[in-house]
Amino acid sequence: MAIDTPPTQPVSEASSTPSDPGLDQTRLRILVVDDDEDLAFLLAKVLVTKNYEVRTARDSLSAIKSAIEFTPDVALVDIGLPMMDGYELARELRKILPEGSCRLIALTGYSEEGEKEKARDAGFEEHLLKPVNLATLRKAIER
């Protein structure tokens, strides 16, 4: 399934309007960064249904641009990105975003020994393995 969309994008117009008027109007803003277009789109769609405002980026440069414009509260970042990997992206995001403004969560298939420590050293607060359980992901986002 190919989705013809720009690299950095809002997931849907619905993502800017709360689905339940009784819910808190200050929704978390989430940036999903993954070079797997289908996975990023699917994850973003699921997060929108949970009342998060979501944007996606397919590479690190688009993610940096989106982070500056969108100012996410949380960034879900794949480690295996082309050109600039997720570790380097995390370090860059730490430089450009105000301190403490964005939680970084590595969402990756990398499970080798030392990966969690490497992620922590790069600035990630969490290291979650794909495929991630939605309840686990939501707990990490909401911490």
> Does the N-terminal peptide bond of residue 18 adopt cis geometry, omega within 30 degrees of 0?
no
Average pLDDT score over residue span 131-136: 91
Q: Does residue 73 carry a pLDDT above 50?
A: yes
Q: Which tens digits make up the pLDDT trace of 30-41? A: 999 999 999 999
The answer to whether position 93 is within a domain reads: yes
Instruction: Identify whether 63 is part of a domain.
Output: yes
What CATH code is carried by the domain that includes residue 93? Answer: 3.40.50.2300
C-alpha 5/C-alpha 37 separation (Å) is 9
pLDDT for 23 equals 44
pLDDT reported for residue 143: 85
Q: How many domains does the chain fold into?
A: 1
Residue-number span of the structural domain to which 42 is assigned: 26-142
> Residue 107 is which amino acid?
L
85 in a structural domain: yes
Question: Does residue 6 sit within a domain?
Answer: no
Does the residue 135 lie in any domain?
yes
Whether 122 is covered by a domain: the verdict is yes
Average pLDDT estimate for 127-139: 93
pLDDT-based confidence at 110, cuts 50/70/90?
confident
- Asked whether residue 7 is domain-assigned, the answer is no
Q: Give the residue-averaged pLDDT of 87-112.
A: 93
Give the model's pLDDT for residue 10: 55
Tell me the pLDDT tens digit for each residue of 46-64.
999 999 999 999 999 999 9
